[in-house]
Amino acid sequence: MGHKRLRFLGVVAAAMVFALACGGTTGGGTPTKTYKIGLVTDVGGLNDKSFNHLADVGLEKAKTDFKIQGDVKESKSGDEYVPNLTDFATKGYDLVIGVGFLMQEAVGTVSGQFPNVHFAIIDGAGTDAKGNDLKHSNVVSLFFKEQDAGAMVGVIAGWMEKNGKAKKNKHVIGAVGGVSIPPVNHYIAGYKWAAKMEDSSIDVKVGYSNNFTDPAKCKGVAQSQINAGADILFQVAGGCGLGVLQAAGQASVYSIGVDADQKDADPSVIASALKKVDVATYTAIKNIVNNQFTSGALTFSIANEGAGYAVDNLDLPAELKAELDKIQGQIKAGTLIPPADIP
């Protein structure tokens, strides 16, 4: 074997070592490592039929598409956020995802302790105890313009009240939030704004359960709004909000689901405001697998199909469909901008 042949083999071997070190692929296109992704839910848990559930849907799709290892820890209380995040980080996971605004401080703490581990957080940033973004270079925030989705279901509620298609037609609707935090209030802001745009005489009742897990707490708030004349109720409270949908059904009025399509949660659900947490989760994982992680923020909205709405147990009038298409087109084009703060 000549010297040229030996030198050539040496170059090939070095290139292969470099590719392996960089987490590249072998000749067949198969990843040379199995990426490990850890998902930590907030107290809502995987069965919230809402955004924790959707995060898991995104993880499962990534497991299928990228052959990653994906593991989930459900947090039963806020005290478990730091230990659950730390467990994945200690084991050297490639990406650790915290689900929800309530995990901001925990992600800020743990990401600072493990600068070589990548973190993503849905609906927030990694913050200090005062809520200041620590801007750690290993954290990406996955934000949403919930007001876009809230506006679309607000159009439905306002149009139905104005045109006599609601149950009581008293021009009163409601929104039941969980805790008064930005993602919840963005939804309600868009909803109230669009409902008033459709029906200037409408009265929008807004209440909070101060809870994301107990349906009974949301049911009580919903019943008080129904007693005040509300006949379309928007739940923005995760698992707790299932009580809103049930209260509406029992009172024979309409309800609107949140985050995921909740048409199967109760027959009263005429629409759902969609927040595509599955898309955001999948995107964050894809960026890790493709070695394209960047810190800072990614924002999902109607413009990039990260938010929207579904029509559920409702025979949609053609006039309302035309109005929804018009408003969605204007939001997508940026000529109509729903507010992030409750008007």
pLDDT of residue 48: 79
CA distances from 281 to 54, 98, 275, 298 (A): 8, 10, 12, 11
Q: Residue 223 in 3-state DSSP?
A: helix
Query: What would the two tokens of residue 17 be?
Result: 């070592």
Stretches in the chain below the pLDDT threshold 70: 1-32
Same fold yes or no, 32-144+278-300 and 146-274+313-333? yes
User: Encoding tokens for residue 79?
Assistant: 């005290």
Q: Which residues contact 100 (CB under 8 A, 6 or more apart)?
A: 41, 42, 44, 51, 52, 121, 122, 123, 124
Query: Which CATH fold would you assign to the domain 146-274+313-333?
Result: Rossmann fold (3.40.50)
- Quick: pLDDT tens for 308-321: 999 999 999 999 99
User: What is the reported pLDDT for 257?
Assistant: 97
The pLDDT value recorded for residue 28 is: 44
Structure-derived torsion over alpha carbons of residues 142, 148, 151, 155, reported in degrees to the nearest 10: -130
pLDDT of residue 23: 44
CATH code for residues 32-144+278-300: 3.40.50.2300
Q: pLDDT tens, 10-29?
A: 444 444 444 444 444 444 44
What is the domain partition of the chain in residue ranges?
32-144+278-300, 146-274+313-333
Distance separating alpha carbons of residues 299 and 305, to the nearest angstrom:
11
